[in-house]
Chains A and B, each alone.
Chain A
Amino acid sequence: MRDFKEQHQTIKKFLLGQLSDDKANEIEARIFAEADFAEEVQIVESELATEYLEGNLIAEERIVFAAKYFKNKANRTTLEYEQLFRQFIRSKSEGNLSRHGQKSESSDSASSDIEINAPPVPLKPERARFGSWFRASFRNRALVYSTIMAAFLLFAVVVWYLAGQRAGQPSNPLEAQRQAIEADLAHLNAAGTFGEVLLTVNLQPAERDRGAMARVAIDNTSQDALIEFRLSLTEASNQQYRVLFLDDRHHELFSISKLTAQATPGGPEIRFVVPARYLIPGDYQINLGVTNKTGGNDDVNSYAVRVVTKE
């Protein structure tokens, strides 16, 4: 079995689109000519995806990876599979690997295409079935969404740097990015009425939804479209409200202030819009607060929403 260790960096650059056309063409030709090399490229790609999902790529690689692998459906599916597999295998304990006992039920005889056969490793006995709790844990895709969010923010930072640091900008680029987003959101929500929205998301407070999470599906071609959020309230106040978006690690992302409650037939609501470009796939918590007399915010409710990529 050949070891392509010395070529890992080149393969990585190839996968991230960082090679010149000539070099990339060379790699592509080699993929077609050498089966071992083609497999190596697949392995490095899979490892790259894992590193991305684990948050282990350096900033530049994360940005490039996200830009490339969220661009088209086929690449997203590859990443989706990596994420699914990662969550799945982590949900298992070593003593609880097989659901169906010792022997493979391999009706499709797929194992025959593996040249290196697995040796008979002694296994611990099956302890419990895991289907339902696994499904629950799978839904908690915390890490991948937070890394995606981090990638987005890093991407924004790079764009900000490339655009040149203008005088008067905050020294922290992430803070600058957040301020830019908040300024945009403040502008969009200033009038209280919105133009055409792509979709409307009605959210109930998290405790009333008993942990259920609303889902918003956005396709990549709708990045400038507006998503309208309607947060249900049990009672309204005349004071101004503020919503704060957090990622699934409770990192603050951005906020919108000076919102007012609206009376609707279904009860009072806080309505605001967010462009789809600020909502990359992931789980979000939305904290709703009311501005108090000292200028601070008193918590009112918390809402949860999951943003997914539309197929």
Chain B
Amino acid sequence: MSLDSMPPENFELLLSWLGPDRDKAGEKYEQIRRNLLDYFRRRDAPDPISLTDEVLLRVTRKVNTVAENFVGDPSAYFMGVARRVLAESWRQQVETELPENIPVFSNSEAGEREELMLRSLERCWARLSTSEQEILYRYCVETPPLKLADSRELLAREINLSLNALRVMAHRLKRRLRDCIDRLMGIKT
């Protein structure tokens, strides 16, 4: 059974387990999903997206029995399932021989992908407001004679943010660009 074919009532139950406010529960679900992807990626798992889906599927399938008795933050339960899924995937990988013909991209395909990523980035960049573009630019690019650290401090003062808040803001803008690129390229994240 895939996540898409999961009964909607299970998913609704999952959301209500994550929080009473549906919107906030949805955000929490997305946060958990991103954490799972990062978890598997940082653990060098072979296919972080599939493993993430597997965790979400397992939790959604069992949510009606788990939610009642689980005490604490549901994220911890996802984490536990993720560890189990990862361990299983390592075992499976050891047992599975590599296929003889592993599909690979040719040079031209790699070039096309690079080109596509670039075009997507240009489109996504255009979706930022000009002030967001300027903030990101000034946060990331050194403009002599100022050193990068100095121009960041100046920028933070200009827009009345602490340096750390500016840093988080720049990260979120970059994250938006990345998500936008993934969407345009049809990458499931």
Contacts and interface: CB of A to CB of B under 8 A. Distances in A.
A71 B44 CA distance: 7
Interface in A86-134: 86, 88-90, 92, 94, 97-108, 110-111, 113-116, 118-121, 123, 131, 134
A32 B79 contact: yes
Interface in A197-234: 215-217, 219, 221
A116 B104 contact: no
Nearest to A86: B140
B76 interface: yes
A113 B176 contact: yes
B127 A110 contact: yes
Interface string A23-65: 0000011011101001101110010000000000000000000
A131 B122 CA distance: 8
A89 B137 contact: yes
A81 B179 contact: no
A32 B135 contact: no
B130 A98 contact: yes
A77 B24 CA distance: 29
A3 interface: yes
A216 B176 contact: no
A13 interface: no
B32 A3 contact: no
Contacts of A5: 164
Contacts of B127: 104-108, 110
Interface residues of B, number: 73
B126 interface: yes
A89 B140 CA distance: 8
B46 interface: yes
Contact of B131 (A121, A131, A216, A221): A121
Interface residues of A, number: 67
A191 interface: no
A89 B174 CA distance: 11
B176 A110 contact: yes
A1 B78 contact: no
Given A86-B140, A98-B130, A110-B127, A29 B79 contact: yes
A75 interface: yes
Interface in B118-159: 118, 121-122, 125-138, 140-141, 143, 158-159
Contact of A81 (B171, B176, B178): B178
A84 interface: yes
A35 B31 contact: yes
A119 B130 CA distance: 10
A105 B179 CA distance: 16
Given A29-B76, A92-B137, A99-B122, 16 more contacts: A31-B38, A39-B171, A74-B48, A80-B117, A84-B118, A88-B122, A89-B137, A94-B138, A98-B126, A98-B133, A104-B128, A106-B127, A111-B176, A114-B172, A123-B131, A310-B110
Interface of B: 31-32, 34-35, 38-42, 44-46, 48, 73, 75-76, 78-79, 102, 104-111, 113-115, 117-118, 121-122, 125-138, 140-141, 143, 158-162, 164-165, 167-169, 171-181, 183
| Pairs of residues from A and B, 5 with the lowest C-beta to C-beta distance, nearest first | A215-B107, A32-B75, A74-B41, A97-B133, A104-B129
26 contacts: A1-B164, A1-B168, A31-B35, A32-B76, A33-B73, A42-B175, A72-B46, A74-B40, A86-B140, A88-B125, A94-B137, A97-B137, A99-B125, A100-B126, A106-B128, A108-B127, A110-B179, A118-B159, A120-B131, A121-B130, A123-B130, A215-B108, A217-B105, A217-B106, A308-B107, A308-B110
